């Protein structure tokens, strides 16, 4: 039974919130594309598995709280809050915690995420990274 685009997008968020790069990869189409707020692109399931693995080392408690969901065919838009703590030298310090509003456009085909496009202000995380030096 094929999952709806909304169900697939929700499963992707749950995998992010568990910091489970393998589950994320299982939910990605082979030609998966990640696009960040600065329009940087990473293409390919295995590159993004590695990308998420690295990101979870940098922000081990990263999570997304979805507040609203909109669906139109294969496209799902998620609105909410992204938050986490920048792990400076492997330590999670309260002063390195951040949160920011986030919008995510998810394109799903055949039960897999083809594109995960994030719109968020990443300055709160960049500021923590600069201060931790």
- Rounded to two decimals, what is the model's pTM? 0.91
Give the position of tokens 């039974």. 1
Task: Kindly tell me if the per-residue pLDDT of 125 is higher than 90.
Answer: no
- Domain spans of the chain, in order of start: 5-132
Residue from 88, 79, 38 nearest 60 by CA: 88
pLDDT per residue over 72-83, tens digit each? 999 999 999 999
Strand order in the sheet with 112-120: 41-43, 28-35, 112-120, 91-109, 75-88, 63-72
CB 63 within 8 A of CB 83: yes
Which CATH code fits 5-132? 3.10.450.50
pLDDT per residue over 65-74, tens digit each? 999 999 999 9
Q: Which two tokens stand for residue 14?
A: 């749950």
- The total of other beta-carbon atoms located within 10 Å of residue 89's CB is 7
Residue from 60, 64, 83 nearest 52 by CA: 60
């Amino acid at each position: 039974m094929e999952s709806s685009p909304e169900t697939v997008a929700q499963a992707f968020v749950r995998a992010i919130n568990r910091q489970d790069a393998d589950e994320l990869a299982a939910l990605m189409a082979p030609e998966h594309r990640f696009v960040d707020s600065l329009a940087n692109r990473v293409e390919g399931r295995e590159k993004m598995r590695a990308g998420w693995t690295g990101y979870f080392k940098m922000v081990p408690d990263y999570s997304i709280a979805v507040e609203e969901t909109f669906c139109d065919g294969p496209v799902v838009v998620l609105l909410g809050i992204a938050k986490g703590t920048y792990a400076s030298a492997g330590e999670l310090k309260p002063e390195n915690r951040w949160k920011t509003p986030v919008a995510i456009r998810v394109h799903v085909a055949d039960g897999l995420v083809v594109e995960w496009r994030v719109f968020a202000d990443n300055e709160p995380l960049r500021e923590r990274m600069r201060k931790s030096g």
